[in-house]
Structure 1
Amino acid sequence: MIRDYSDFLPRRASDAGTHADLSPLQALGWQPFFAQQISIEELSATPPVRVVEVHRNGLHALGDGIDTTLPPRADLTVGDWLMLDSSRPRSSRVLERTSLIKRRAPGTDRQEQLIAANIDTAFIVTSCNQDFKVARLERYAALALEARMTPVIVVTKTDLVTNPQSYIDAARAVSDMIDVVALDARGDAPRTELTRWCKPGKTVAFLGSSGVGKSTLANALLESQSIATQTIREDDAKGRHTTTRRELHAMPNGCLILDTPGMRELQLTDAAEGINDLFSDVQRLAARCRFKDCQHETEPGCAVLKAIDEGALDAGRLGRWRKLMAEDAFNSASLAERRSRDKAFGKMVRGIKKLKDVRR
């Protein structure tokens, strides 16, 4: 029988004021959502642990009085909660996630790559230089919305330009549902501007290209220099890969921070809902088109094209929506086809084994 064990925890993480108020599991991000998935029998036999660090040769996991290394698994990523089976670690059950960041892995085989799980807030970091690209911000924002996280755009290095407002305005145009914070990552600004998302027991992640200041922001919140940083290349404002692995770090107040390596390529897959949420303005206009299957190209009575002609919608935004939808459809279809082939292959193998058993 599944029961809610959240009552067994001292306090809800959202109500706790300091790190000292958290239980050992709450300090790792444990929430009632996870407690509701387990039974008392499972809790006593297989205690919960969270993956806090991913290495090529294993997974570092922590729990209440537990510090262990697990064998690598393709279905696990940093931030995951699982019920630890000490005798058979590979059989440990993964708990349902509150959120999951994934992308189409680089390469031609169109595999999925899991980036992080159970993140509450995604700080999408960009900077006031050549790195700033609206299309990239939209891509990360769609990823965050699809993953059911709260996206926040953080514009850094405002001290390096004479007019940071143009960057801020462009970031705000991404979506009226997303908060935009502009700051200098050095000093006290990160702690004062980002505090409302960094609550005890919560988990936040910094996403973005290399060199935009993700690690500097993380260090400011951690009040340490535990994460290495590097300056960008002056000729093209490109960052150098400093963070090489995905790892959770604990803030003094009990919030957990994930500093991720910069991703040169972020291909969306299974993200149609996130894209539609991000481009809700386009969706609202499309609902007013004369034809339900309107492609917004040359059709009469197209509300989207009319909005572009009247200056109410930017043509570039429509083009970026089309690109993301086409990319997601292609990658998602490819993954669905691969899953179908895997299912058919498994069925064939089971049939062969069954035939061999009959012959014996």
Structure 2
Amino acid sequence: MSAQARGRRPHVLQVSGMAAGGVRAHLAQCARLLAADGCDVLVAAPAAVLEGLDTGRAHREVLGIGSRPSARVAGALVRLRRLARGAEVLHAHGLRAGALAAVAVGGRRVGRPRLVVTVHNLTVGGRLARLVGGGLEGLVAARADLVLAVSPDLAGRAQGRGAAAVELAVVPAPWAPRGGAETMAASGDVPEPASGSMSDAASDAVPSAVWAPGLRRVLTVARLAPQKGLDVLLDAAAVLGRRAAEGRLPTLEWVVVGDGPARAEAQQRIDAESLPVRLLGRREGAAALMAQAEVVVQTSLWEGQPLTLQEALRAGAAVVATDVGGTALTVRGGAVLVPPCSQEVAEAVGALLTSPDRLRQARERAHGAAASLPTDDDLLVQLHRALGV
């Protein structure tokens, strides 16, 4: 039953820090669905996140939560406390926004807004970054009424830190007009401004010039950042290239759609080693490329519920993915899962490219898994239950 049907307009405050890709897409989805269902929704996030974000009927306000600690956090805290007045529920996205929200509303008590935090990422980096991340996890666990985790390992971490309640988050990939992909940036990206997503619109038309004639087609859609396992990808491509040169595999081209801080270094290695990899950068029409590829590969070192894999399943592509984070949860048996190891990735891709039967079966599994992917309706049901609206 919608909020309007219940005769009231609950006030929901959606809060985010710097976000890109899947995190940003999920923030927009939650805001749109709740606002369309009759809730009074306010989205508070950095200006770069709000720019061009489709939040439907939801209101918006700039809130300067940075991606790193700074002197501005005190001002953001004061502003968040003001915005939270009168809200029945505060739904924060990400550890940094969740921790700030926890400080803003205080501990669990009667009369304060219900606090729900969706944890989208595993903290990675050096010892200091992990210590800070652990502290934020502890604060969220201590004060949130509910933690929604995008992967089983994140759920386990929240439970281990004593969270009052933990659920796996429902994260459907957005549908875009004409069956294209609304965003090609997977969940789990290092938060960046909105311009970091892979594509902002979809296109059914993909120029034939994208693919070199006569070569087998392998595709990866990912932000070019360390978390996406670019070294694993390039090492696997080197193995496949050597086997093709020896006549043990057909010659292939591994196209990578996406951009990011590691692009220049990756291109240097591709050129130096003559790897069969081509970096296309950001582009529209990635979903159509998935439908044209023979194998779609994800080499990430960690993922939440990657939107790109959902989109690959919908495209009916054969999928090889590293079994990390929430990947197995996401693909629902529709992908070949391997450890984040270049040799394992190369073996799986090579096996598909040399066996028409295996390739056909992998595509059939993808089609079957796509039918059970979560939908906006599933997300709305969880939001009603989780937020209590």
Structure 1 length normalisation: TM-score?
Answer: 0.26
Structure holding more helix per residue? 2
Structure 2 length normalisation: TM-score?
Answer: 0.25
